[in-house]
Amino acid sequence: MSVYLDHNATARVRPQAVAAMTQVLTHVGNPSSIHAAGRAARAAMEQAREDVAALIAASASTVIFTSGGTEANAIALESAVAAGARRLIVSAIEHDSVQETSRVTGAAVEVLPVDANGVADLAWLRERLGRWDAAEGKPFVALMLANNETGVIQPVAGAAEIVRAADGWLHVDAIQAAGKIAVDSRALGADTLSVSAHKIGGPQGVGALTFGPRATLSRRQHGGGQERGRRGGTENLPGIAGFGAAAKAALASLADYRSRSAWRDAVAEQLKATGGVVMGEAAPRLPNTLCIAAPGFTSDLQVMGLDLAQVMISAGAACSSGKVKASPVLEAMGQGDLAACAIRVSGGWDTTEADWRRFAEAWLALQARHAERRIRKSA
Give the residue numbers annotated as catalytic, written as ranges.
319
Q: What does the alpha-carbon distance between residue 54 and residue 56 come to, in Å, rounded to a whole number?
A: 5
Q: Can you give the length of the chain in residues?
A: 379
Q: Give the 3-state secondary structure of 215-249.
A: CCCCCCECCCCCHHHCECCCCCHHHHHHHHHHHHH
295 neighbors 330 (Cβ within 8 angstroms): no
Query: What backbone phi and psi angles, to 5 degrees, belong to 219?
Result: -75, 125
The alpha carbon dihedral of 130, 135, 136, 139 has a sign of positive
Q: Which H or E element spans position 368? A: helix 353-378
Q: What does the alpha-carbon distance between residue 261 and residue 276 come to, in Å, rounded to a whole number?
A: 18
**Greatest alpha-carbon span in the chain:** 79
The total of other beta-carbon atoms located within 10 Å of residue 154's CB is: 25
371 burial via Cβ count (<10 Å: 0-12, 13-18, 19+) = middle
Q: What does the alpha-carbon distance between residue 275 and residue 122 come to, in Å, rounded to a whole number?
A: 32
Angle, CA 256 vertex, CA 172 and CA 354 arms, to 5°: 115
Phi-psi map region of 3: left, alpha, beta (phi>0 left; psi -120 to 50 alpha): beta
